[in-house]
Amino acid sequence: MINIHIKNKSWPTTEEAAEQAVIKDLEFSLEKNEFVCMVGPSGCGKSTLLNLLAGLDSDYDGKINLNTSQHNYSPHIGFVFQNPRLLPWRTVRENIELALPEPPPEQSQEIIDNLIEIMGLTEAQHKYPEMLSLGMSRRAALVRAFSIQPNFLLMDEPFVSLDAPTARKVRTLLIDVWKKRPHTVLFVTHDLDEAIQLADRILFLSPSPTHIVTDIKIDIPRGSRNEEQINLFKKRLFDETETIRTLL
Amino acid sequence: MQSRWFYSLAPPALLLFSWQLLAAIINSSLLPAPLEVFSVLWAALIDGELLPNLGITLARLFASFFIAMTIGTAIGIFLGRTRLVDRFFDSWLIIFLNIPALVTIILCYVWFGLTEAAAILAIVINKLPNVVVTLREGTRSLNKDYFEMAESYKFSRAKTIKHVILPQLHPFIIAAARSGLALIWKIVLVVELLGRSDGMGYQLHLFFQLFDVASIMAYTIAFVTVIQLIELTILKPLDRRAQRWRR
């Protein structure tokens, strides 16, 4: 169980701008192995929140409790950024292997081989990232995140600017891999259809300074989340909660 | 393929031809013909006067080159990372960049005596600000995204330096090395001329007093050849190796 309560996160005053609150009283928890999507208007502070969770930014007021068990053990965090952020001067394979902890756990090579095959990167694995298409780079970034066997996976709009068929394909792959090895996922997106297709639960965020507005469970069984079901769910959602429309 | 041969052979051939033509027209010992220069070069190689002097000059060049590159890279990275210190020392850098080489050389000899250490120091001081400025720019342009990636995947310090920082600084280091080599080998001769009793600079000074233009040109050819070889066999391959990931 992961508990998060950010009381306040703001950008300090600079020469150009006054102090600006980004996150205010944002509180939620994630069940073990739950897949949660976060939807909110652009610029509301979603990426900032993920940076806090990943430990990239410790300048905030609040509490982040990532303990996955009572043994106070800090989980492996995988992070899939909005841009793939592969090191251009290392091959795809090297990029993936670099993310492994040192010394690499046993069987990590088999795990990587397997993931590379699932994601269709076998041919491309010894190429440099600049030779790949955006879709392939995004898949490589996914393999990198999965191969460290994370207990907690953070994803920051990882499929943005992919064409629709490619995005659909990569989303299916993501769910396949997640089902095989369940772990907690926090997936940020501004695409409600995507969120309904992927999530167990959706958290809706307000504009900046952001907090959670509503928390919706997706009750369509996985496997029957086709376009029709997703549209029906959306319609019902909009009818029940007027405010959601304004948050997209 | 044919055109590549043309472009690598034709320009030097034209240079040699023009030189020969000019020498024939002027017909003076002040502009010896290519053949004469090459026979002087050959003689200097055989009687063993050229190589020791070339060797001592190259030794000074490499010593000062490595000192300047190491210290300059360290200072450059430091300034690139700490804005306040950088702002404070920026004017120093501009002053040192603009002090004429001759002034530092004379001052070093005056203050520290006509010694080897003073000679090397003078060259290093001339080169250092250049390296610092180049590496400072390189450090400022380091991409924050990659650092965040490295941090979120818990890269060790060594891993971050080797896989995230150095590859990004590489083009700047190569640029500093290239311009450094060119700058240093010009300065090293002046340093030798003013305060050393061996090396290429000293020899050229002797030839100057004798008006021995053929020897001056022969020594120049030998030196330029060595520098070209360094560029072709060390710097270019290093550069190509580090750029192979680019499209």
Write down the pLDDT at residue A243. 78
Q: What ipTM does this complex have? A: 0.86
The reported pLDDT for the residue numbered A69 is 54
Number of neighbours of residue B218 by Cβ within 10 angstroms:
24
Question: Residue A247 — very low, low, confident or very high, per pLDDT cuts 50/70/90?
Answer: confident
Q: Tell whether A54 is within 8 A of chain B (Cβ).
A: yes
Q: Is the pLDDT of residue A73 over 50?
A: no
- Round to whole Å and give the CA distance between A11 and A20: 5
Average pLDDT over residues A225-230: 86
CA atoms within 13 A on the CB side of B14: 6
Per-residue confidence (pLDDT) for residue A67, from 0 to 100:
67
- pLDDT of residue A74 exceeding 60: no
Which H/E stretch holds residue A185?
A: strand A184-189
Distance (Å, rounded) from C-alpha B218 to C-alpha B211? 13
Domains of chain B with CATH codes: 54-246 (1.10.3720.10)
Q: How buried is residue A115: exposed, middle or buried, by Cβ count under 10 Å (0-12/13-18/19+)?
A: buried
Return d(Cα B6, Cα B193) in angstroms, integer: 39
**Which of B245, B246, B247 is the best substitution to test chain A (most A C-beta atoms within 10 A)?**
B245
Residue B128 has pLDDT above 90, yes or no: yes
Is A99's CB within 8 Å of B153's CB?
A: yes
Write the single-letter amino acid at B51: L
Indicate the pTM of the whole model: 0.79
| Higher local confidence (pLDDT), B131 or A168 | B131
Peptide bond into A103 cis (omega under 30): yes
- Of residues A43 and A215, the one with the higher pLDDT is A215
- Per-residue pLDDT for A15 more than 50? yes
CA distance A178 to A167: 16
Q: Is the preceding peptide bond at A84 cis, omega within 30 degrees of 0?
A: no
More confident site: B235 or B137: B137
What average pLDDT is seen over chain B? 90
Confidence of residue B123 (pLDDT cuts 50, 70, 90): very high
Tell me the pLDDT tens digit for each residue of B150-194.
999 989 989 999 999 999 999 899 989 988 888 898 899 999 999
Encode pLDDT of B59-110 as tens digits.
Answer: 999 999 999 999 999 999 999 988 889 889 999 999 999 999 999 999 999 9
A-B contacts at Cβ under 8 angstroms: 50
Mean pLDDT, rounded, of chain A: 87
Give the strand order in the sheet containing A212-217.
A77-80, A152-156, A184-189, A35-39, A201-205, A212-217
Tell whether the model's pLDDT for residue B237 goes beyond 70. Answer: yes
Residue A160's contacts (CB-CB under 8 Å, 6 or more residues apart) are: A82, A189
* Closest by CA position to B55, among listed B203, B181, B186: B203
Q: Mean pLDDT over residues B214-237, rounded? A: 88
For A88, nearest residue in chain B (alpha carbons): B245
Rounded to a whole number of angstroms, the distance from the CA of B89 to the nearest CA of chain A is 22
Instruction: Output the 3-class SS for B25-77.
Output: HHCCCCCCCHHHHHHHHHHHHHCCCHHHHHHHHHHHHHHHHHHHHHHHHHHHH
B7 falls in which pLDDT band (50, 70, 90)? Answer: confident
pLDDT digits (tens, 9 = 90+) for A180-197: 888 999 999 988 989 999
B47 in A contact zone (CB under 8 Å): no
pLDDT tens-digit readout, A75-110: 678 999 988 999 999 999 999 999 998 888 888 899
Which range is most confident: A84-98, A156-170, A224-238?
Answer: A84-98
Rounded mean pLDDT of B125-143?
93
Q: Which residue, among A112, A74, A118, has the nearest Cα to A92 in the 3D structure?
A: A112
pLDDT > 90: percent of chain B: 61
Which comes out higher in pLDDT, residue B47 or B111? Answer: B111
Pick among A15, A89, A95, A102 to test the B interface (most B CBs inside 10 A): A89
Q: To which residue do tokens 């009572």 refer?
A: A70
Q: Name every chain A residue with its beta carbon within 8 A of the beta carbon of B244.
A: 128
Asked if residue B245 lies in contact with residue B170, where contact means CB atoms within 8 angstroms, the answer is: no
User: Which chain B residues are within 8 Å of A87, Cβ to Cβ?
Assistant: 146, 149, 163-164, 167
